[in-house]
Amino acid sequence: MGAGKIFALLLVLFGLTSSALAQEGERPYLRDENQFGRPADDFSLSFCVDPRDPSWEVDKEIGEAIARALLLEPKPFVIESTAIDTDDAQLYRYLLKDCRIHFGFKLLAQGIPDWLTVTRPIYESGYIFLVEDKSIDKLADIAAGKGVASTLGTTADLRLIQFNNSHPSAEQWRRFPYSTDEAAIRAVLSGEAETALVWAPTFSQLQKANADFAALKVIDPQPLVLPGVPVGAVLLAEDTYLRVNIDRAIGELVADGTIDEILKKHGLEGQTKP
């Protein structure tokens, strides 16, 4: 996926904008909800990961580590979908039918539907600027009028828009919005844009399959401030007891270095915090 599924509070790791979630405690309507029950979790932990997410393999390994820390059998459910969007009804269906916890969500401090709850952050990542011109070290080195490719609708894109619009038009960069991080990156390689603003885990993943991406370098975002983005998981609100235990397991795996080892193993840009 690109730069993240956006919910009122949650932006998923893979860069896909979701439809609006129910905001006032109203659960999504599923016509066939009474035809399936919740996954049994007496001796196992069922969790969802989505291959459209650039960090899904990391999420899967973290989910397995959490299950083992809780002395449970890990039961990953790999979502199979070709859709670009994941809406509230789909998420609700997954959490009812296929898994107890869904990994791969950016945790943003705004608001969350009453029918969802979130874990503590597992790790923190962020957005980065990429350039091909090795003489450029920071965003401020890019002259006004040059193109900045940005993935549409991300929190970083909104910061870029606000910062750019706060300057006179003669001092602004030209912002080129794209639907995916990969498209934004390729705009730099084609010379259409001077830099691309993308989700760091997406770039890490794309580098593995695109040798030409090695020509790009990460630059300092100054004068734009891009704070780190905590990444975690979501559960249904009634799973409070499970969430408490998962949070405890996450804390233990952060403290003993397991999460950092998983991030390093997969080459994913991210760091943990106690």
- Angle (deg, nearest 10), helices 56-69 and 240-255: 100
User: Each residue of 241-271: pLDDT tens digit?
Assistant: 999 999 999 999 999 999 999 999 999 989 9
Give the predicted TM-score (pTM) of the model: 0.83
Tell me the per-residue pLDDT of 196-208, one tens digit each, with 9 for 90 and over.
Answer: 999 999 999 999 8
Task: Return the CATH fold of 127-219.
Answer: D-Maltodextrin-Binding Protein; domain 2 (3.40.190)
> Closest by alpha carbon to 256, among 69, 46, 60?
69
Q: Domains of the chain: which residue ranges?
A: 10-19+41-125+228-265, 127-219
Answer whether 10-19+41-125+228-265 and 127-219 agree in fold.
yes
User: What pLDDT digit, counting tens, does each position of 136-194 carry?
Assistant: 999 999 999 999 999 998 999 999 999 999 999 999 999 999 999 999 999 999 999 99
Q: How far is CA 248 from the centre of its chain?
A: 22
Q: Which CATH class is domain 10-19+41-125+228-265?
A: alpha beta
